[in-house]
Structure 1
């Protein structure tokens, strides 16, 4: 069963002056258990796709299916048990006056779980935080620790799919690799499906099996990570991204 299916997805924003087409005719399939990266420059529509999937953008057409559920204008409660999102900025995604305990216990109760204490302990262990972090507040945590809490919150409903919106770009370089390795381990341990947005090809190469390259709202190429590593993209824009990432222009053979 496929984890995520997008068919001819269009997403737009209406303003008083005009309509902005952010995503245009995008089709993409993410198989269950797979990790797929959406890459492209700022404004290419990557994060808008995640927002449309979670119901945060109501103006769209086409078809979206997640874990066997065809999506309409509203998201069911069951949808949010299957799908969770990790946002870019751990400083903004946690309530400054809620302790780690409050963040996790409220999420667990919202989704109808019992044995809250045991589950919180397991979640903190899963993300590499010990019991001493349970009653701390966001201002008492580093950026990497905050993102670990945000990941624990996303894991709390026991989802099948995580949507990752630049999950390390707001962190210091020294902790980015730790969070990426944690996400790799969690996908294997919990049999998760990932759809990840990033502008960093090295990050996507580490995390993902397939890469979808976006330009001006459209997917211009989908390729295996192995093709990217061998510097064999077919589309000129994909080559441009690779050359920019590597810092040089590859000579023609």
Structure 2
């Protein structure tokens, strides 16, 4: 990972998120595995970019490297033109938040919704905690009545709405979405995806979404990178994806194998 950049202000012309030559490895010597291999892409402010591929393709590892949850062996990650160092500081987490795949595992079972949402504000000394909680609950479609419930009193979709609300507490500019609907029923998936689309439009958020579901990324993203064995095979515009016009044979196979995927579903 490159060292932190200077204190020069970020360029307004720079992408909101830029990843260049990102490589992530696990293990050493004979057990060394390259999980992400020289991956590059960028997302403009307010854009939405998808990473798709089969299980083990490295797409979720890219998100974790950006979030600082796993170290990068090489490459750079920049937010609004400012290159990140190997450690993430408090300012990073005010700008970038992550929504995880499993709404059952990402919430503490003994913490009320109120405590779950209060903790980010307390840790970052954000202030106006009550007002922030009420606002984000309203924005994710839950309201005050859910504030003092425990996770076991919520449905899967409601838990994921709480997870999204927690990510919004610090008013970030970028959301990293790691299969945010894959653990939910199909009918609930659509509701959560529509919520995310509305939040992006209302707040001008920038999304990086990981999914194995091509219909989801075709609905949510402007561009999509197809990953295999840690590498990006190609980047498609959403219209190319909907029209099933990829350049790479693997992408064609992925489209064919994607259960329930069609141009109509992707629209």
TM-score tier (shorter): over 0.9
2:50 maps to what in 1? 37
> What residue in structure 2 maps to residue 107 of structure 1?
120
Alpha-carbon separation, structure 2, partners of 1:136 and 1:46: 33
Residues 22 and 72, structure 2, Cα contact 8 Å, conserved in 1: no
1:231 aligns to 2:244 (yes or no): yes
Whole-Å separation in 2 of the counterparts to 1:59 and 1:212: 19
Say whether the 8 Å CA contact 1:3–1:31 is kept in structure 2. yes
In structure 1, distance between residues paired with 2:42 and 2:145? 41
Q: CA deviation at 1:68?
A: 2.9
Any idea what the Cα deviations from partners look like across 1:30-61, whole Å, max 9, x if unmatched?
Answer: 11110000000000000000000011112421
Could you tell me which runs of 5 or more consecutive residues in structure 2 were left unpaired when the two chains were aligned: 1-13, 262-267
Note if 1:221 corresponds to 2:240: no
Contact 2:36 2:61 in 1 (8 A): yes
Q: Deviations over 1:149-196 (max 9, x none)?
A: 000000001000000000000011120000000000000001000000
1:67 touches 1:82 (CA, 8 Å); kept in 2?
Answer: no
In structure 2, C-alpha distance between the alignment counterparts of 1:230 and 1:168, rounded to whole Å: 24
SS state of the match for residue 208, structure 2?
strand
CA distance 1:213–1:158, change in 2 (3 Å): same
Farther-moved stretch of structure 1 (35-44 vs 51-60): 51-60
TM superposition shift of 1:104: 0.8
Q: Quick one: distance in 2 between partners of 1:200 and 1:244?
A: 10
Displacement of 1:17 after TM fit?
Answer: 4.8
> 1:207 maps to what in 2?
220
User: Could you tell me how far 1:74 is from its partner in structure 2?
Assistant: 0.6
- Other-structure match for 1:22: 35
> Of 122, 139, 150, which residue of structure 2 is paired with 1:126?
139
Provide TM-score, normalisation by structure 2: 0.90
Determine the structure 2 residue equivalent to 1:48: 61
TM-score by length of 1: 0.95
Q: Which moved more, 1:192-201 or 1:111-120?
A: 111-120
State the Cα distance separating 1:73 from its structure 2 match: 1.1
| Cα distance in 2 for residues equivalent to 1:247 and 1:140 | 32
Corresponding pairs, count: 248
Contact 1:213–1:219 (CA under 8 A) maintained in structure 2:
yes
Aligned to 2:25: 12
Alignment partner of 1:57 out of 70, 76, 85:
70
Say whether the 8 Å CA contact 1:37–1:208 is kept in structure 2.
yes
Secondary structure of the residue aligned to 1:123 is: helix
Q: How big is each residue's C-alpha offset from its partner over 1:197-222, in whole Å with a ceiling of 9 and x where there is no partner?
A: 00000000110010000011000000
Change (3 A) 1:138 1:15: farther
Any residues of structure 2 matched to 1:61-76 within 5 Å, and which? 61-76=74-89
Superposition CA RMSD, Å: 1.3
- For the residue of structure 2 that corresponds to 1:129, the secondary structure is coil
Aligned partners of 1:86 and 1:47: how far apart in 2?
Answer: 12
Partners of 1:198 and 1:176 in 2: CA distance: 12
Alpha-carbon separation, structure 2, partners of 1:211 and 1:147: 24
